[in-house]
Structure 1
């Protein structure tokens, strides 16, 4: 008996239907793009989650649940993660003072930035910057 390749079997027996099912209970791809774009645009100045939810045609509570199901993070955590990634880029590629970086990334003040960064990254922003600039 001769073994057939998958391609040969498809050719011999017809087409294979592949169905891609969206994740149940999560945001539709267009909703995820819209929400992430709006959150990115408001990273510094802020964006109201109620407005993002409205633009995704969801209630605020529905939006929070489905956003977390889709991304693995609440909208607030996702936004904080984005702010910290932006801060890390600025710390690596600029000589801006940490206080300015904090404000540029949407934190209310340097102490808030330092507390959040230390809690989530595991080291202070100043130490993180020194370790990577050697």
Structure 2
């Protein structure tokens, strides 16, 4: 006798997202990092309610969806800071922050230094590695 649970998409045994839903959510986030992302849209893509999705996402990743998005935006900003000559304003908009002030605040909170200091330190370190 077949069990209904075999066929229905399920959460993982720990209450988190199943691997397919986790992949869908993360791919959607990363593909739209520079855009405004509504948790309701992520939940809809995973066929879950907003609250259920938020709980399951946190259970799976250890972070709320908003915090995970923020970390991905900061990571992308760090990549752009070290690999481009874009201004911090351009980088902040490219990474989905509403303005440079908010970007600087979130970056400083995450990295312990403001983006300009971080850029100066990493460009100096990059030049030292190249010169060696």
TM-score scaled by length of structure 2: 0.82
Residue of structure 1 equivalent to 2:4: none
Deviation at 1:23, TM superposition (A): 4.3
How does 1:1-134 map onto structure 2 within 5 Å? Answer: 22-134=12-124
CA RMSD across the alignment? 1.0
Q: Which entry has the higher C-alpha Rg, 1 or 2?
A: 1
Cα distance in 2 for partners of 1:70, 1:24 equals 8
After the TM superposition, which parts of structure 1 deviate over 4 Å for at least 4 consecutive aligned residues? none
Please give the secondary structure, in 2, of the residue aligned with 1:112. Answer: helix
More helix as a share of residues: 2
How many residues align structurally? 113
Cα distance in 2 for partners of 1:110, 1:131 equals 20
Deviation at 1:121, TM superposition (A): 0.9
Gaps of 5+ in 1: 1-21
Gaps of 5+ in 2: 1-11, 125-132
